[in-house]
Chains A and B, each alone.
Chain A
């Protein structure tokens, strides 16, 4: 099976706390891409990052950072100094093996940032 697992259904933290969202994927590919998307209450899915499996360096973009661990098939997402506007559902996704374009998605993690 080619699953993407986001085991955390919902996380609630107080503003300014750091929070990490987990993503574990299954793959038999040697080369693959991984994605994170954000879905705020308004509903539109917003692209956050695309990562190639060749590049195992961590990525940082402002308060967002991503930790890619090929050995454990994980691609975790950390928000530092969280803000109320970060409240959303976050999805991890990857293309399925026999398709270049079909994305398979995790079930999402609902992140609630309390003021």
Chain B
């Protein structure tokens, strides 16, 4: 069990640029989640995949955000035309198959800073 891996750990970019983050889940986990966390707050759900299918998406997720999991393994989260308010920690988690409510296991996150 190598854990959930996220890259990069830190990303600094100018407003208006596009950014892409990658998440490699625990290998036997078919469920993958993206969250956003700002300072002093709990994580905020963004989206969820079961295998390659994106099954849930937060209404908070604007059209500038898109996530993919093309082969049901790793996932990417892209933010287009970044804004100051996008500065946050982006967390990826994965969980096992089986019943719902399996514990989600998190990566170290990608910290995004928009200049």
A residues within 8 Å of B by Cβ? 4, 33, 35, 37, 42-47, 50, 91, 93, 95, 99-108
Cα distance, A91 to B84, chains bound together (Å): 26
Determine if B41 is an interface residue (Cβ-Cβ < 8 Å): yes
Instruction: Kindly list chain B residues whose C-beta atoms are within 8 Å of the C-beta of A102.
Output: 45, 48, 56, 58
**A43, B101: Cβ atoms under 8 Å?**
no
A44-B108 contact given A101-B100, A102-B48, CB 8 Å threshold: yes
Q: Does B42 contact A (CB under 8 A)?
A: yes
Residue of chain A at shortest CB distance from B9: A43
CA distance A50 to B98 in the complex (A): 15
Question: Can you name 12 A-B residue pairings with CB atoms under 8 Å?
Answer: A37-B106, A43-B108, A46-B106, A47-B104, A50-B101, A93-B42, A95-B100, A102-B45, A103-B45, A105-B43, A107-B40, A108-B41
Chain B residues with CB under 8 Å of chain A are 31, 33, 40-45, 48, 55-56, 58, 89, 91, 93, 95, 100-101, 103-109
Inter-chain contacts of A46 with B (CB < 8 A): 106
- CB of B46, distance to nearest CB on chain A (Å): 10
CA distance A46 to B107 in the complex (A): 9
A100 to B104, CA, bound (A): 12
